[in-house]
């Protein structure tokens, strides 16, 4: 079931390899014998995959160091970023070193940002181990750390040299994390592909059961859709913003309630429902499509109601710090139908507040 595709960015193009035993295959990493590598991973992933990956690389003539950091969104910080940089420095790594991010979206984002900064840029490889990182955050070169006032506010666009996806990693993923990843999967159907959305309606149980053929197709299709968007708009000047459906609301939930209390995918799921309500209020979206989306999110074991401990007004300061804001005006990615979204300028705060209140 090995699948491959390419993110086409001229001299920065790179392959994505998807399979069940990819961590055993040196060829997918695009390394050369004699190179030095630093593997950045976390305390959850290290006991599962670090030894096997290190052994495979050393067998092929790679000198390997590692750095293990705490696990969780609350550790997507400058301190963790600095720990990775300090390890590179203490071990005398040079511009020829390759940094491997072994873990979920947090590790991928922080390690990628460290790679972008160390000696003004070293190569790095994404080895995503969660569904969310496999279908979304490992592809496209967005790297960042969080700030208490906003998610992903400090970072860089910096592409990896390869993405190596191992389907077997999903077998060790907790159910809640699997569902969180499905939020990003469902997002692709809403924004770009109505047929894929229908396929998800018919195959969500197979994905929850980690059925290999369904999961392989799902991850490949999501990566293909994202690769096409990234190739058209690498640094989010225009259409790449559509990938942020639900994220403006969702990031507000994460920041207000404390990073890690709601998983990113959980917050995005509720954020997408809020976005559909905003679209409906503008007369752009049907109630029947809202119900289809809510039904699929529920089948994926995701929340569809706003967190009760958070007032609607509490969203606004966070949303006004969103990277899509222009001249102090809110801009939201809103659906017009399943399979198509638009970036809407000058969305009023009153409409935003109403869309939040409706999501209950």
Is 247 one of the catalytic residues? Answer: yes
| H or E stretch covering 207 | helix 194-208
φ, ψ of residue 45 to 5 degrees: the values are -80, -35
Is 184 one of the catalytic residues? Answer: yes
Question: Which DSSP symbol is given to 2?
Answer: -
Residue 133 tokens read as: 């990182």
Residue 157 tokens read as: 């666009």
Is 142 one of the catalytic residues? Answer: yes
Write down the catalytic residue from 76, 93, 123, 142: 142
Q: Round to whole Å and give the CA distance between 216 and 20.
A: 9
Is 226 one of the catalytic residues? Answer: yes
Write down the catalytic residue from 93, 221, 251, 318: 251
| H or E stretch covering 150 | strand 150-157
Write down the catalytic residue from 76, 93, 221, 264: 264
Look up tokens 């014998």; give the residue. 33
Write down the catalytic residue from 187, 240, 280, 294: 240
Write down the catalytic residue from 177, 236, 256, 266: 236
139 in Cβ contact with 165 (< 8 Å)? no
Percentages (nearest 5) of helix, strand, coil residues in the chain: 50, 20, 25
Q: Round to whole Å and give the CA distance between 299 and 287.
A: 18
Write down the catalytic residue from 244, 266, 306, 331: 244
Write down the catalytic residue from 73, 177, 184, 234: 184
146 in Cβ contact with 106 (< 8 Å)? no
Is 251 one of the catalytic residues? Answer: yes
Dihedral of CA 241/244/248/254: which sign? negative
Q: Which residues contact 81 (CB under 8 A, 6 or more apart)?
A: 110, 113, 114, 117, 145
Residue 331 tokens read as: 């801009």
Is 244 one of the catalytic residues? Answer: yes
Write down the catalytic residue from 247, 294, 306, 331: 247
* DSSP states of 219-244: HHHHHHHHHHHHHH-TT-SSGGGGGG
Write down the catalytic residue from 10, 120, 202, 360: 120
Write down the catalytic residue from 187, 226, 280, 294: 226
What are the residue numbers of the active site? 120, 142, 184, 226, 236, 240, 244, 247, 251, 264
């Amino acid at each position: 079931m090995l699948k491959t595709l390419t993110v086409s960015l001229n001299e920065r193009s790179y392959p994505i390899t998807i399979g069940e035993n990819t961590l055993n295959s040196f060829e997918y990493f695009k390394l050369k014998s004699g190179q030095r590598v630093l593997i950045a991973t976390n305390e959850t992933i290290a006991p599962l995959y670090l030894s096997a990956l290190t052994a495979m690389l050393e067998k092929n003539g790679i000198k390997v160091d590692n750095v293990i950091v705490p696990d969780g969104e609350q550790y997507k910080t400058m301190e963790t970023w600095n720990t990775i940089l300090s390890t590179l420095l203490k071990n005398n790594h040079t511009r020829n070193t390759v940094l491997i991010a072994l873990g979920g979206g947090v590790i991928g984002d922080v390690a990628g940002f460290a790679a972008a900064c160390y000696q003004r840029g070293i190569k790095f490889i994404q080895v995503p181990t969660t569904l969310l990182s496999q279908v979304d955050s490992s592809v496209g070169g967005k790297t960042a750390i969080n700030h208490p006032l906003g998610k992903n506010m400090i970072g860089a666009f910096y592409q990896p040299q390869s993405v190596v996806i191992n389907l077997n990693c999903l077998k060790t993923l907790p159910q809640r994390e699997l569902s969180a990843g499905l939020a990003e999967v469902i997002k692709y159907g809403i924004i770009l592909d109505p047929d894929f959305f229908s396929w998800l309606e018919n195959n969500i149980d197979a994905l929850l059961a980690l059925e290999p053929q369904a999961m392989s197709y799902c991850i490949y299709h999501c990566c293909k859709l994202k690769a096409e968007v990234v190739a058209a708009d690498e640094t989010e000047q225009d259409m790449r913003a559509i990938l942020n459906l639900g994220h403006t609301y969702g990031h507000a939930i994460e920041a207000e309630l404390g990073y890690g209390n709601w998983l990113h995918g959980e917050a995005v799921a509720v954020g997408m429902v809020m976005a559909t309500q905003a679209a409906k209020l503008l007369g752009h979206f049907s109630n029947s499509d809202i119900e289809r989306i809510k039904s699929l999110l529920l089948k994926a074991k995701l929340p569809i109601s706003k967190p009760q401990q958070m007032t609607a007004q509490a969203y606004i300061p966070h949303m006004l710090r969103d990277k899509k804001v222009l001249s102090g005006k809110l801009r939201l990615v809103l659906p017009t139908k399943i399979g198509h979204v638009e970036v809407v300028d000058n969305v009023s705060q009153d409409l935003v507040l109403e869309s939040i209140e409706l999501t209950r």
